[in-house]
Amino acid sequence: MEPRSILLVEDDPFTSGLVASALRTAGFVVHSAANAREAREKVAEVDPDAAVLDLSLGPGPNGVDLAHIIDRQYPGVALLLLTKLPDLRAAGYTMTDLPPTCGFLRKEAVSDPEQLIAAVEQALNDHVVREGRGDGPLAALTATQFAVLRAVAQGYTTPRIAEMRGTTVSAV
């Protein structure tokens, strides 16, 4: 049986090296790209079985954009989105913003190669892994609470957040 191929799209060379090493050790053939443009060229060239995509890819399309492009143009490619964020909402997305077959995994799973490999295997077997929502301290927050928390993290004051949201300071 021919080894399965993975397209790894990660803009951080250190993280890319760690993930690629773990995937190669598990028997995958890994093709790497550092951004969405390179990834689009590489997916057409190598026809991977799966794509592991970083959420944040620097300037240009991000991992969510790329996941939609690959899902539309290459529907047989299993998709797994990696991010350092504890919750996809921290990037302004919800799980419904991902293609239905795209999994989501926090990068801290890379510290346990078995967890990363298991997530890739599940994606290849059409089981969508959606880790990163429901098991952390932010999981209980409503969408409104999360939006306010994001604004606080971005450095906005309570009065400015109230103004931006069209609400009162006490509501914030």
pLDDT tens digits, one per residue of 117-169: 888 888 888 766 555 444 455 555 565 766 777 777 678 888 888 888 888 88
Are 48 and 31 spatial neighbours (Cβ–Cβ below 8 Å)?
yes
Q: Which residue has tokens 């620097």?
A: 58
Residue 96's SS3 state is helix
Helices (H) and strands (E) in the chain, counts: 6, 5
Q: Which two tokens stand for residue 66?
A: 């790329």
**What is the domain partition of the chain in residue ranges?**
5-124, 141-172
pLDDT for the residue 133: 44
With beta carbons less than 8 A apart as the criterion, state whether 49 and 74 touch: no
Is the model's pLDDT at 87 over the cut of 80?
Answer: no
For the stretch 38-84, pLDDT in tens is: 999 999 999 999 999 998 888 888 899 999 999 999 988 999 988 88
Name the β-bridge partners of 29.
5
5-124 has CATH 3.40.50.300 classification:
no
What are the respective helix, strand and coil percentages of the chain, to the nearest 5? 45, 15, 40
More confident residue, 87 or 41: 41
